[in-house]
Amino acid sequence: MSTGAIIAIVIGVLIVLALLLWLSRRGRAAKLESRRHEAREIRREAEVRSAEADQTTAEADERAARARQEEAQARATAARADEQRQEADAHHARAHEVDPDTKGDYEPDRDRSTTDAGAATTSPDDPHYERSEDTTTDADADRNVREVHEERTTTDPDRDPEVVREEDHRTEYR
């Protein structure tokens, strides 16, 4: 082989190596640019979602503020109603005192004390409170759950109480 051919081969190999190096760098740069573009898109989407979350939070805060304001107004209205009720009771008592046909044993009428919704304001602590038959308390509900659980564990002695509790839990939270 001649010296000119060897030089031509070496130059050809160097050109091919330079071309491969240039193509690999260009491919790497394109891949990096693609990842940068993807990251920009993800950031834009995150900003949009963040703005939506901020807007939802602001709406929730506004609703909560309105609810607090309405609650305060309801309490103020209830307080005014109580004051009016007390004034009415005082007027009834005064009328009872002035009326010559009464004996002076006036008691305010508890049946007329109502809330804004018109329901009686009596509570279980009130001596005039009567619980309706269909009303259940937390204690009643707890007692019913215990009775059902005991019944299920005692009717089938082969059943494991832990399995029964787990089944009750699954049924309760469906």
Please list the alpha-helical segments (H only) found in 99-112.
none
How confident is residue 116, by pLDDT bands cut at 50, 70 and 90?
Answer: very low
For the whole model, what pTM was predicted? Answer: 0.40
Alpha helices in the chain, H assignment, sequence order: 3-98, 138-155, 161-172
Q: Is the pLDDT of residue 144 over 90?
A: no
To the nearest 10°, report the CA torsion of 159, 165, 171, 173: -160
Tell me how far apart the alpha carbons of residues 31 and 121 are, in angstroms, rounded to a whole number.
73
